[in-house]
């Protein structure tokens, strides 16, 4: 090769290298936000609920200190001071219950574990008085059911366990107007530790869970017919995972565990397309994790936050289809922690337990 050709080759190679360097320098790196420690709760808790109230406070209710040591106490997080204060007590000690904000501004607390079995008790928390009031009972005792606020303001309860290791297929509706529960059609598969996601068309996607063994089955609840129909199965059987609605109406399913439990933590993720009625594989989490909050937090950017079961807080970007770890990390793999988006777009992460069953009072704040 002549010297001229060699010189031209080197010139082109150097130019391309410089161009690539310029792109990497000039292209801003997209931040995944940061997580940092915050003030502790009044009590160490896991399996509790955390509900954003209309005034911006967060109601923390129930949970456990350790196995069979459950709380009836509740506390309020003040986003201005960053501190917690006590509020009224529930009528029942419970863990693995549900809490949803109703259109009335009150919080519905229902179900959960009260020992080795579930409870059918329900109550309402009134933020204006700071008190809980018992209401009509559910149609069946449910430990760790799913709960979904429907478009008309009523609430769908599905599955759970009546006693340990006996999953339920039954479902019921809480009617806001009458404050009563109505039995509706059952699911095709009994399940607990599943997810339930409200779709844009008003139907609810029920995915995964435990039915005696971990399942990949999924089904759709139609509020018009008050019944369930089966849809395509997930690519991977999973329970104790998380799910989140994407801006285009699809649903991200991530993490969880297979039949091996603690030894079967999953990093895989998949996306359900309600128009196609199918699940497709998605990019994996950076870290396998299970015992997650049922619902991933949707940030103001429409990205999804996933926390718990790992020291990392991960953000799913629908535009890139990938997960990115936030800067900073938790000090342990906290399971069954809560995650609550605050009115300023930050997220309160609270409680959980590590590999032992001793819960923590620690909290953290994620900032986008």
- Segment 184-204 mean pLDDT: 98
Residue 15 pLDDT exceeds 60: no
**Dihedral (Cα; 156, 158, 163, 165), 10-degree rounding:** -150
Please tell me the distance from the alpha carbon of residue 18 to that of residue 13, in angstroms, as a whole number: 9
Nearest residue to 47 (alpha-carbon basis) of 72, 27, 65, 21: 65
For the stretch 226-236, pLDDT in tens is 999 999 999 99
What separation in angstroms does the CA of 230 have from each of 205, 220, 277, 280?
A: 10, 6, 10, 17
CB 209 within 8 A of CB 159: yes
3-state secondary structure of 291: coil
Nearest residue to 119 (alpha-carbon basis) of 99, 102, 144: 144
Fold of domain 31-367 = Neuraminidase (2.120.10)
Query: What is the average pLDDT score of the chain?
Result: 93
Confidence of residue 177 (pLDDT cuts 50, 70, 90): very high
CB 240 within 8 A of CB 290: yes
Model-level pTM?
0.91
- As given in the structure block, the two tokens for residue 48 are 């509790």
- Segment 160-173 mean pLDDT: 95
φ, ψ of residue 30 to 5 degrees: the values are -75, 125
pLDDT score at 322: 98
C-beta neighbour count of 21 within 10 angstroms: 10
pLDDT score at 297: 98
pLDDT score at 21: 41
Please give the full DSSP string across 155-169, using - where no structure is assigned: EEEE--EEETTEEB-
């Amino acid at each position: 090769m002549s010297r001229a050709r060699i010189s031209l080759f080197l010139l082109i190679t150097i130019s391309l290298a410089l161009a690539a360097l310029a792109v990497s320098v000039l292209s801003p790196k997209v931040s995944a936000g940061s997580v940092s420690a915050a003030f502790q709760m009044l009590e160490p808790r896991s399996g509790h609920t955390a509900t954003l109230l209309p005034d911006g406070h967060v109601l923390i209710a129930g949970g456990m200190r350790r196995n069979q040591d459950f709380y009836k106490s509740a506390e309020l997080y003040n986003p201005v001071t960053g501190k917690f204060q006590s509020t009224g007590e529930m009528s029942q000690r419970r863990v693995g219950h549900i809490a949803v904000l109703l259109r009335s501004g009150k919080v519905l607390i229902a179900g959960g574990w009260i020992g080795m079995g579930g409870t059918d008790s329900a109550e309402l928390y009134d933020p204006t008085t700071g008190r809980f009031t018992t209401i009509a009972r559910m149609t069946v005792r449910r430990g760790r059911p799913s709960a979904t606020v429907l478009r008309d303001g009523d609430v769908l309860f599905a599955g759970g366990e009546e006693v340990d290791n006996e999953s339920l297929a039954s479902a019921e509706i809480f009617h806001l107007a009458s404050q009563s529960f109505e039995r509706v059609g059952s699911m095709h598969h009994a399940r607990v530790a599943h997810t339930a996601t409200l779709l844009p068309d008003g139907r609810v996607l029920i995915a995964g869970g435990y039915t005696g063994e971990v399942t990949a089955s999924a089904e759709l609840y139609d509020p018009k017919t008050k019944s369930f129909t089966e849809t395509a199965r997930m690519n991977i059987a999973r329970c104790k995972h998380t799910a989140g609605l994407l801006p285009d109406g699809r649903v991200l399913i991530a993490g969880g565990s297979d039949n091996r439990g603690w030894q079967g933590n999953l990093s895989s993720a998949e996306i359900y397309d309600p128009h196609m009625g199918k699940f497709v594989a998605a990019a994996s989490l950076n870290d396998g994790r299970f015992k997650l909050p049922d619902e991933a937090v949707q940030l103001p950017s429409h990205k999804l936050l996933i926390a718990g079961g790992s020291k990392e807080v991960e953000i799913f970007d629908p535009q890139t289809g990938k997960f990115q770890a936030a800067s900073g990390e938790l000090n342990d793999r906290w399971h069954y922690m809560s995650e609550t988006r605050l009115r300023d777009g930050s997220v309160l992460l609270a409680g959980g337990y590590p590999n032992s069953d001793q819960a923590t009072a620690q909290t953290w704040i994620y900032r986008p």
